[in-house]
Amino acid sequence: MSARFTRLLVAVLSLGLVLTLGSVASASAGRNTATTPAASTPKASDALFYVTLYGFVDNSPPSAIISNPVIHSKAGGTGTFSDPVTFATDTREEKPGTIVYYAYLKKYFIMEDTCTECTKDWNGSNGDNPTPVRNGHHWRIDLWAGGNSSDLHNPGKQALLDCEDALTQDNGGQVTLNPASNLPVDTTPIFNTSTNKCYTP
């Protein structure tokens, strides 16, 4: 066998080995780049809560101060998905930043504050929650109704308190958890501080 033929044979065999290794590497890369399915979004569901309201005059202290600001520096919001109204509850019940929808008022709400009565309900030491026990607890959220310093005196003060009472449903209300972003919205204020008018569902 000539030296020239031997060199040619070695070159052909080497080329075949390179092509084979390249195919294996490509197949391995294809397997490694397979996408992992994305985690599914939690489905919307309705749950019964005792839904109360609070405002500037019965906040503690009287103000719009909130304990867990997320998108607002103080209690507020218009009720849209992008600007939900502040609500309060116990942090074990709903975490700060949780968005819910309340069809009765046609508004979205976001958890940004704590609520003494909600904590009492959660711990079982409150007696005014009319809703059945669910998962071992009475569930309650307190929605921000509005108001400002001008409502610390009558007639605004009483009008705001009356509004909160009027919109509290005696048997609780259905609240949508993990709501879609396109549900019907009415941005009419729950309590209009200029007119002392209460929202009518």
Domain identity same for 94 and 181: yes
What range defines the domain where residue 6 resides? 1-35
Domain identity same for 77 and 20: no
* Cα separations in angstroms, 35 against 30, 83, 118, 153: 10, 34, 43, 61
**One pLDDT digit (tens) per residue for the chain, 201 residues:** 544 444 534 444 444 433 443 443 444 444 444 455 555 678 999 999 999 999 999 999 999 999 999 999 999 999 999 999 999 999 999 999 999 999 999 999 999 999 999 999 999 988 889 999 999 999 999 999 999 999 999 999 999 999 999 999 999 999 999 999 999 999 999 999 999 999 999
Assess if residue 147 is contained within a domain.
yes
Contacts of 39 (CB under 8 A, 6+ apart): none
Assess if residue 40 is contained within a domain.
no
Domain identity same for 31 and 50: no
Contacts of 69 (CB under 8 A, 6+ apart): 112
Domain identity same for 174 and 193: yes
CB count, 10 Å around CB of 18? Answer: 10
Assess if residue 142 is contained within a domain.
yes
The count of structural domains within the chain is 2
Assess if residue 75 is contained within a domain.
yes
For residue 53, give both structure tokens. 């309201």
Assess if residue 112 is contained within a domain.
yes
User: Please, which residues bridge with residue 142 across strands?
Assistant: 52, 88
Domain identity same for 84 and 113: yes
Contacts of 95 (CB under 8 A, 6+ apart): 111
